[in-house]
Amino acid sequence: MIAIEADKLTKIYRVYRKREGLFASVAGLFHREFKEVHAVQEVSFRIDQGEMVAFLGPNGAGKTTTLKLLSGLIFPTAGSATVLGHIPWEREDSYRRRFSLVMGQKNQLWWDLPAQESFQLHKEIYRIDPADFRRRVDELTDLLQVRDLVGQPVRELSLGERMRMELIAALLHRPDVLLLDEPTIGLDVISQRRVQDFLRYYQGQQKLTVLLTSHYMKDVEALCKRAVIINEGEIKHDGPLEEIVDRFSTHKVVELQFAQAEIPADLADFGEVFDEKPPRVKLKVLRAQVPEVLSALLSRYAIEDVSVSDRPLEEVIAEMFVATKDAETEMSGTVGSVP
Ligand SMILES: Nc1ncnc2c1ncn2[C@@H]1O[C@H](COP(=O)(O)OP(=O)(O)O)[C@@H](O)[C@H]1O
Ligand SMILES: [Mg+2]
């Protein structure tokens, strides 16, 4: 069963372009100039019920706009979408009860009130049965380890605690679809882990459909098997997470710890030295050359410890965009040089 379907979904914002100078601003009264921002361009994808998909891309790529469209907060310029059979921007009450949107950079809870008061409000809004409500609050506050904090004004909580309360509020009415926009942004490592662990457990248990945007590849690697990558409003990749790694991760990170304090000068022959903290050093080595590089190094030097790991996914994805940018620049360069 398909839970979320976007078909050539497009959102163009018209932003007023401010003109310089007095004359221009007077002229602007009569003749307004607009600039078009193509935030989302013909975006298409399908997400099955119970899938947890990462939605990745650099800042300004169109992620939040897509999630706002799927939540019915804004209307598309063109294209269509259905979530659980509903057209989001028709804003039917029956749809509202079946999804939740959580934005890491926005508060949905009442700042001055304890979280439990906001929960109570959700109970009324969504007409949640009192017994169900109690059970869910208990379960969720236990899972997220914030049970003894629900009576404290939200503004007194740490960012991580607040975010966990936001998640609880979003899940009280048992939505089938959860749209998460940077739920771990700015969180400390421990809170980030708690949120990850919770999402993994709860999603599996409830068979939630989740679309997750995050800057943190740790979230993605921990939670998602599939990634949709967006850049400049367009989908650039949709497939298994490993595929991105395979396709773009041509190198491995070899970390060495030498027995002596100084690091040999000829390491650059084996790979790119990118992190040097004697006696430890990290080398970026072509994946295919890792075995021979390792045996050469081990026979030549006294090495106390060695590890081989994949490069961080965020680095790989960042490179992917640089690669497409370069290709575009090259192409336009070629066109430009035609006499
Ligand atoms: N309300 C808005 N008005 C005008 N432009 C907007 C608005 N919201 C977003 N944009 C622009 O649309 C593009 C996509 O933004 P957004 O969806 O927030 O990206 P992301 O969440 O991937 O960082 C950006 O260029 C952004 O500046
Ligand atoms: Mg965003």
pLDDT band at 334 (very low <50, low <70, confident <90, very high): very low
> Does the C-beta of 173 come closer than 6 Å to ligand 1?
no
Which residue CA neighbors atom 25 of ligand 1 most closely? 60
Judging by DSSP bridges, how do beta strands 226-231 and 52-56 pair with one another? parallel
> Does the C-beta of 69 come closer than 6 Å to ligand 1?
no
* Cα separations in angstroms, 52 against 49, 166, 178, 283: 9, 19, 9, 34
> Does the C-beta of 73 come closer than 6 Å to ligand 1?
no
Q: For residue 319, how many C-alpha atoms fall within 13 Å in the half-sphere facing its CB? A: 13
| SS3 per-residue string spanning 157-219 | CCHHHHHHHHHHHHHCCCCCEEEEECCCCCCCHHHHHHHHHHHHHHHHHHCCEEEEECCCHHH
> Does the C-beta of 301 come closer than 6 Å to ligand 1?
no
> Does the C-beta of 39 come closer than 6 Å to ligand 1?
yes
Please tell me whether the peptide bond between 58 and the residue prior to it is cis, using omega within 30 degrees of 0: no
pLDDT tens, 257-296? 999 888 888 888 999 998 889 899 999 999 999 999 999 9
Say how many Å lie between the CA of residue 194 and the centre of ligand 2.
22
> Does the C-beta of 10 come closer than 6 Å to ligand 1?
no
> Does the C-beta of 103 come closer than 6 Å to ligand 1?
no
Say how many Å lie between the CA of residue 68 and the centre of ligand 2.
10
pLDDT band at 324 (very low <50, low <70, confident <90, very high): low
Break the chain into its structural domains and give their ranges. Answer: 2-8+42-245, 250-310
Q: Which ligand 1 atom sits closest to the C-alpha of 11?
A: 12
pTM of this prediction?
0.81
* Sequence-separated contacts (24+) of 287-292 with Cβ below 8 Å: 287/249, 287/250, 287/251, 287/252, 290/252, 290/254
How is 268-292 classified by DSSP, letter by letter? Answer: GGTSEEEEEETTEEEEEEEGGGHHH
pLDDT band at 339 (very low <50, low <70, confident <90, very high): very low
Q: Which ligand 1 atom sits closest to the C-alpha of 14?
A: 4
In this prediction, residues 9-13 reach a mean pLDDT of 97
What average pLDDT does the chain have? 89
pLDDT tens, 173-194? 999 999 999 999 889 888 999 9
- Considering the domain 2-8+42-245 in this protein, what is its CATH number? 3.40.50.300
> Does the C-beta of 56 come closer than 6 Å to ligand 1?
no
Say how many Å lie between the CA of residue 239 and the centre of ligand 2.
21
Tell me the fold of 250-310: Alpha-Beta Plaits (3.30.70)
Which residue CA neighbors atom 27 of ligand 1 most closely? 60
pLDDT tens, 25-81? 666 666 667 889 999 999 999 999 999 999 998 888 999 999 999 999 999 999 999
C-alpha span between 109 and 103 (Å, rounded): 11
* Cα separations in angstroms, 156 against 48, 103, 122, 171, 175: 39, 19, 21, 22, 28
